[in-house]
Structure 1
Amino acid sequence: MTFVKLLLSFAPWIAFLIIARDTLQRVEIGLVAALILSVVMAVLKLHRGIIMYVGLIFFTGATIAVIGFHDMWTIRHLGVLANGALAIGSWVTLLIDRPFTLDYARQHTDPAKWHDPVFIRVNELLTTVWAATFTVNTVIAWALMKHLMPEWVCHAASYTALITAAAFTSWYPAHLRKRAARAHQVAPEPT
Structure 2
Amino acid sequence: MTFVKLLLSFAPWIAFLIIARDTLHRVEIGLVAALILSVVMAMLKLHRGIIMYVGVTFFTGATIAVLGFHNMWTIRHLGVLANGALAIGSWVTLLIGRPFTLDYARQHTDPAKWHDPVFIRVNELLTSVWAATFTANTAIAWVLMKHLIPEWVCHAASYTTLIAAAAFTSWYPAHLRKRAARAQQVAPEPA
What is the SS of the residue equivalent to 1:21? coil
Q: CA deviation at 1:39?
A: 0.4
Counterpart CA distance in 2 for 1:148 and 1:183 is 50
Counterpart CA distance in 2 for 1:100 and 1:46 is 14
What is the SS of the residue equivalent to 2:84? helix
* Structure 1: runs of 5+ lacking an equivalent: none
Q: CA deviation at 1:86?
A: 0.1
Aligned length: 191
Counterpart CA distance in 2 for 1:21 and 1:148 is 19
Counterpart CA distance in 2 for 1:109 and 1:37 is 26
Deviations 1:117-171 (A, max 9, x none): 0000000000000000000000000000000110000000000000000000000
Deviations 1:10-29 (A, max 9, x none): 00000000000100000000
Q: CA deviation at 1:190?
A: 1.6
Counterpart CA distance in 2 for 1:102 and 1:166 is 15
Deviating above 2 A after TM superposition, structure 1's stretches of 4 or more consecutive aligned residues are: none
- Identity percentage over the alignment? 92
What is the SS of the residue equivalent to 2:77? helix
Scaled by the length of structure 2, the TM-score of the pair is: 1.00
Scaled by the length of structure 1, the TM-score of the pair is: 1.00
Query: Counterpart of 2:10?
Result: 10
Deviations 1:52-75 (A, max 9, x none): 000000000000000000000000
Counterpart CA distance in 1 for 2:190 and 2:89 is 47
Q: CA deviation at 1:189?
A: 1.0
What is the SS of the residue equivalent to 1:148? coil
Q: What do you get for the CA RMSD once the two structures are aligned?
A: 0.3
Deviations 1:39-98 (A, max 9, x none): 000000000000000000000000000000000000000000000000000000000000
Q: CA deviation at 1:172?
A: 0.1
Query: Counterpart of 1:73?
Result: 73
